[in-house]
Amino acid sequence: RNPFTGEAYVPMDECLARCVVDFGGRPHLTWRGLDALAFKRLTTREKDQDAACAFRFGLAREFFQGFANAARCGLHLERLYGTEPHHVVEALFKAFARAIDAACQRDARLGRRLPTTKGRW
């Protein structure tokens, strides 16, 4: 496992999302399989049924792009399958949190050495 790299898959009812993060100092966002849902028109029934349905994917993408830029990390988010916007957004955020947690864990094998192949920052 590479230091400062994490990945996670999260199922949420009918959908499955994946997040891979690399805190390597180069900001980048890959947003795969999500654009079709970003432009989905919500019916009046969907809007009335659940306020979370009104959350637009554009806002999620802006959040993740801002995070990648500020944290200077490579962030890869992907909807493997699923069509319910609420479930997809929830699965993305949960996968994101789990991937960051995995990337920030200490590796006991490194001891006090820097987690880099170059030996310096």
| pLDDT at residue 117, as a whole number | 56
Name the domain count of the chain.
Answer: 1
- Considering the domain boundaries, does residue 76 fall inside one? yes
Asked if residue 113 is part of any domain, the answer here is no
Q: Tell me the percentage of the chain whose pLDDT exceeds 90.
A: 50
* pLDDT, tens only, 47-71: 666 555 556 666 888 999 999 999 9
We report the CATH number of the domain holding residue 89 as 3.30.230.40
Please give the order of strands across the beta sheet that includes 74-81.
5-12, 15-22, 74-81, 28-32
| pTM exceeding 0.85 | no
Average confidence (pLDDT) per 10 residues, the chain, 121 residues: 83 96 94 76 66 64 95 96 88 97 83 61 52
- Tokens 């200077």 correspond to 72
Give a yes or no: residue 118 inside a domain. Answer: no
